[in-house]
Amino acid sequence: MPAITELLTAEDMSDKVKGVVSAGRLLELAESQMIPHYLVDDRIMFGPGETKEWLNHNLVVRVPGAHLGDSICRVVNVVEPLGDKAVPPVALRAIAAFLIPMGLESIKTVPFSGVYFLCHRGEVVYVGQSVNVLSRVGQHFGSKTFDSVFFVRIPKSDLDFVEGTFIRTLTPKYNMDKSGRIVAPSPTGYCSPEGEKLVGLVEVAVA
């Protein structure tokens, strides 16, 4: 662990990498628990060496020019895999390595941003998003019937795109209005390569 005097703020860390990754992006990745960081009196700080290593490994992808489809970032790969006892619905098996069951002790007190799936009897019945998944899921008790919950960590800037695509792909019953039409965020707008990769896996699996 680096000494406290070696830790940098998001702004200083961004300057350290010559602005290639903005301070806002660094904080977004830290708040979604993707990039390694430290809390110093509740302030997010970064270790220069490990942060550079993480950025190089997860955000830097060589694009050969002829195979743009292969140039996919690997940010979502840092989430912990499913435990043996947590079995996701068939519709989500394609992204099982990225799913986190809500019961894991390690996430109970940490406010993650992400997209979550309410499931009942092996079926996804609702897809939602929140900058604090743990708090948001609790609000569904009593209004929706579900027996398990999974989620994937997603940066705030990708939430609308990823949630909307999952809803349109999985068509959960609680994401429909009274006339049976799907209610989901618009698919327009930017989404990072890691977000597109995640939804693409499910789109292919359920096609």
Q: Are 58 and 26 a contacting pair, CB within 8 Å?
A: no
pLDDT for residue 109 is more than 90: no
**β 148-153/38-40 pair status:** unpaired
Report the pLDDT value the prediction gives residue 68, as an integer from 0 to 100.
Answer: 28
Q: Are 134 and 108 a contacting pair, CB within 8 Å?
A: yes
Threshold 0.85, pTM exceeds: no
The helix (run of H) or strand (run of E) holding residue 193 is: helix 193-206
* Pick among 3.40.50.2000, 3.40.1440.10, 3.40.50.300, 3.40.50.1100: CATH of 75-206: 3.40.1440.10
Winning range, highest mean pLDDT, from 30-34, 51-55, 89-93, 131-135: 51-55
Q: What ranges in 1-132 are assigned the alpha helix state H? A: 10-16, 23-31, 48-58
Report the pLDDT value the prediction gives residue 112, as an integer from 0 to 100.
Answer: 73
Better pLDDT: 81 or 181 = 181
Report the pLDDT value the prediction gives residue 75, as an integer from 0 to 100.
Answer: 29
pLDDT for residue 87 is more than 90: no
CA 99 to chain centre: 9
Report the pLDDT value the prediction gives residue 132, as an integer from 0 to 100.
Answer: 84
Report the pLDDT value the prediction gives residue 51, as an integer from 0 to 100.
Answer: 95
Calpha distance 131→109 (Å, rounded)? 14
69-83, 88-102, 161-175: which has the minimum mean pLDDT?
69-83
Q: How far is CA 25 from CA 7, 165, 203, in A?
A: 17, 23, 27
Better pLDDT: 48 or 203 = 48
Mind listing the pLDDT tens digit for each residue in 158-188? 888 889 889 988 999 999 988 888 888 876 5
Q: Scan for tokens 């110093």, then name that residue.
A: 40
Report the pLDDT value the prediction gives residue 104, as an integer from 0 to 100.
Answer: 47
> CB atoms < 10 A from the CB of 162, how many?
25
Mean residue pLDDT of the chain comes to 78
**All structural domains of the chain with their residue ranges:** 4-60, 75-206
Q: Are 134 and 107 a contacting pair, CB within 8 Å?
A: yes
The percent of residues above 70 in pLDDT, for the chain, comes to 74
Averaged pLDDT for residues 115-120: 91
